[in-house]
Structure formats: C-alpha cells, structure tokens
Amino acid sequence: MIDATALARDTAALVQVPSITGDERAALERLGELAAALGLDAELHEHDLAALRAHPDHPGEEAERDELLGLTVTLPGERPGRLCLNGHIDVVAPGTAEWQHGPWSGWVEDGCVHGRGALDMKGGVVAALHALAALRDAGGHPEVVLQAVASEEDGGLGTFAALERDDAFDACLIPEPTAFEVVCAQAGALTFRVTVRGRAAHAAMRLAGRSALDRYVGVHLAIQAHERVLNRAVEHPAMRALALPYPVGVGRIDGGEWSSSVPDRVTVEGRLGVPLESGLAAARAAFEAALDDGEAPPVEVEWTGGRFAPGATSPDHPWVGAVAAAVQAEHGRPARLTGVPYGADMRLFCARGIPAVMVGTRGLELAHAVDERVRIDDLAAVARIIVRAVRSAR
C-alpha cells in the first residue's frame, strides 16, 4: 500500500528545494508537482498578507516576507466526515557548520533521507501525501484535506491563514516528529526582549554609577524563580510527566560600550513557556510582574516574534483513541499519550475547537541540527498510521 522507495524519492525531491521561512513558494510548487504525479489534485493559493497582519488574532511572525502561500490537496470523501492533515514546509537556515551531505542534497543513504527539513517536517508532509494516495486506492474514507503551510517556524501564520480560509474539520493530525508518541497537549511560548538600565560612570569611579549588568543579575534570578513557579504545580497529566514542562530561558545578551565604563544598559532576549492553564495576556502580565525590581527606571519588557498559545485535546476524545490505536497497530504496543514543552501549529486547531494531535517519526534531536535526516521506514510507518487513523475515524 505504501511504497517506501517512492516515499523516499519524493521526500528527497522536496528537500532539494530550499524553503527557509519567508521563501517557500518554490517548495510548495514542487509539492504540487509531486501530488499531481500521484494523481492527486493540489491547489496553490496566496493569502492576503495585509489582512492577516491586521487580524486581532495574528499569531506573530519573525521572518521577512512579502507573500504568504499555501497548498491544499483534497481527497473527496466516500462517507461522511472531514479530516485535516497539516504540515509545514518552511525550514530553518542550515547554519554555518559543514554538512556530511549538502543541506539541500536530499541524499538517500543508509535508510535515511538527508537534508534540511527532511525530519522537520518535509518528510512528514510527503508521508501524508502518500497516505492520501493510499486512501484513494483503498476507498471507504471521509473527505481528507492536506494543508501544506508556510511560516510555522516563526509563529504559525501559514496554518492560521489556512484555517481562516477553511476550518470545517472534524479533527486534525499533524505528522511532526514525536517518536510515535501521540501528542495531545502542547505548551505555549512567547519571545521577549528585556532591557535593564543603569547609570554610566567611569570604571575607576564605579560607585558613582549603577551597573546595568549588576542590576540584571537580580533580574535574571527573578527569571529563574518565575520558571520554578510555572513548573511547581503542573495540572495537566501529559505535561506533568515532562522534566520541565514550561521552560523559561535567555538566549541572547547584549550590553555595555567600553571596558572602562560602567554599563548603563543590558538587553536580553529569550523565551517564556506558557502553561496550558494560562492565556497569553496573563502569561505576559505575570512575567512582567516577576521582573519588577522596584528600581527606576523600571525594567522594560517587549514581546517580539511569534505568539504560541498553549493547546490541548482531551486524551479521551475518540480522535485521540483512533490515532493511538493506529500507532499500536503499526508497532504492536500501546501508544504513549504525551505533552510537549514547545509551541506548535496544533494549538491553532485547538483554539477553534478542532480536536488535534501530533504523531510522527523518531529523531526530534536532529531537527534544526547539522546533518538533519529522517528514517525512510519511519516515514512509511507514519503514512500507514495516517491511513489506519483516517479509515477508523467516526
């Protein structure tokens, strides 16, 4: 039913088209060609970027772009029901380190397809495409729509736009890499920029100034304390099982102008995990309050980039059960239901009341890494899981 060789070939063909977030047109066009070769109807469409940016629920974005495209592949149904398969084809940059095979090589070796996006998540999108072809041949399925989207890596604008266009779905499966665990809960995430100000002075007269760096040390301790508060009494069982459900971290720091001067400014940028029980506005307010050290001028907090709300689907929902049963049928053991500590497009379906889960290949540690690759047998397994889940959905 699923031809692993053809699946590897098509994944390689898609990997060979660079699609760094903000420049996805060529990859979506290639995916449309792959769909046509399988006898499936694909529609490439351009979204109204200005209207999306003006929308009150705009999910944020970081990459520069002057267009936003999406591709849908629709398999007409033979019985009631309408399901969505969703996956992103935008990828992060390959970095500066040397790859064993080029980042856009699509090299097939040792049972893997190599290249940026092979794992995260062009391979999953192609697996979904081949699942549609298999469902067509087998018959007896509801209508299924594959949404291939852009802009997942910087906030989810592509899926947000796709759902603005069409959200009439009974359920959704997203084949992100999850090591075949069925993800039914995801944390939210916000990116922040914090500026701490001091008072400049000559380093030899340090006491006449107020070091912004010294002040930031206290702010950093407050950030760490806030992380402990967020993770002290986690309510959702799928999130409670994680070592750190809601991480808070600083990834960049900048400050000072001269080695012999007391720095009057330190700026840091980082990421705030958002609990399932919290809305984005409440998460921002709590973080800002935690960083208030009572000094003047106050610590400045800006919210930048993507806005990933948390999201969850009840583990008791029939769609979760159908997907878990499909995973069990594939691997011969019960599927593990879990949560993840990162933001994903799943939450955009949950926000609209559409039951959604993520399930996909192993190897998440290779996502965004040098020498990213995906196992071909894992992709074939994902395609078979999708077929079983769709056929059993009621």
Among 145, 154, 132, CA closest to 354 = 145
Amino acid 1: pLDDT: 85
Cβ distance 172 to 83 under 8 Å? yes
Q: Which tokens go with 119?
A: 């794992």
Task: Say whether the peptide bond before residue 346 is cis (omega within 30 degrees of 0).
Answer: no
Among 164, 182, 160, 185, CA closest to 173 = 182
Could you give the CA distance from residue 343 to residue 188 in angstroms, rounded to a whole number?
5
Task: Say whether the peptide bond before residue 297 is cis (omega within 30 degrees of 0).
Answer: yes
Cβ distance 313 to 141 under 8 Å? no
Burial tier of 301 (Cβ tally within 10 Å: 0-12, 13-18, 19+): middle
Q: CB neighbours of 184 closer than 8 A, spacing ≥ 6?
A: 238, 312, 313, 314, 315, 317, 320, 337, 338, 339, 357
What sign has the CA pseudo-torsion 235, 236, 237, 241?
negative
Place of tokens 């950093």: 220
- What is the rounded average pLDDT for all residues in the chain? 97
Q: pTM for this one?
A: 0.93
Place of tokens 């979904």: 128
Domains for the chain: give ranges and CATH numbers: 4-186+310-392 (3.40.630.10), 188-307 (3.30.70.360)
Could you give the CA distance from residue 213 to residue 233 in angstroms, rounded to a whole number?
32
Amino acid 305: pLDDT: 83
Cβ distance 283 to 226 under 8 Å? no
Could you give the CA distance from residue 76 to residue 78 in angstroms, rounded to a whole number?
7
Cβ distance 94 to 15 under 8 Å? no
Burial tier of 380 (Cβ tally within 10 Å: 0-12, 13-18, 19+): buried
Amino acid 360: pLDDT: 98
Consecutive H or E run containing 86: strand 82-88
Give me the DSSP letters along 367-385: TTSTT-EEEHHHHHHHHHH
What sign has the CA pseudo-torsion 135, 327, 276, 269?
negative
Could you give the CA distance from residue 75 to residue 163 in angstroms, rounded to a whole number?
17
How do the pLDDT tens digits run along the chain, 394 residues long? 899 999 999 999 999 999 999 999 999 999 999 999 999 999 999 999 999 999 999 999 999 999 999 999 999 999 999 999 999 999 999 999 999 999 999 999 999 999 999 999 999 999 999 999 999 999 999 999 999 999 999 999 999 999 999 999 999 999 999 999 999 999 999 999 999 999 999 999 999 999 999 999 999 999 999 999 999 999 899 999 999 999 999 999 999 999 999 999 999 999 999 999 999 999 999 999 999 999 999 999 999 988 999 999 999 999 999 999 999 999 999 999 999 999 999 999 999 999 999 999 999 999 999 999 999 999 999 999 999 999 999 8
Amino acid 316: pLDDT: 95
Among 34, 25, 40, CA closest to 133 = 40
φ and ψ at 283, to 5 degrees? -65, -40
Q: How confident is the model over 246-257, as pLDDT tens digits?
A: 999 999 999 999
Among 64, 47, 127, 121, CA closest to 89 = 121
Instruction: List beta partners, residue 193.
Output: 269, 302
Could you give the CA distance from residue 69 to residue 11 in angstroms, rounded to a whole number?
20
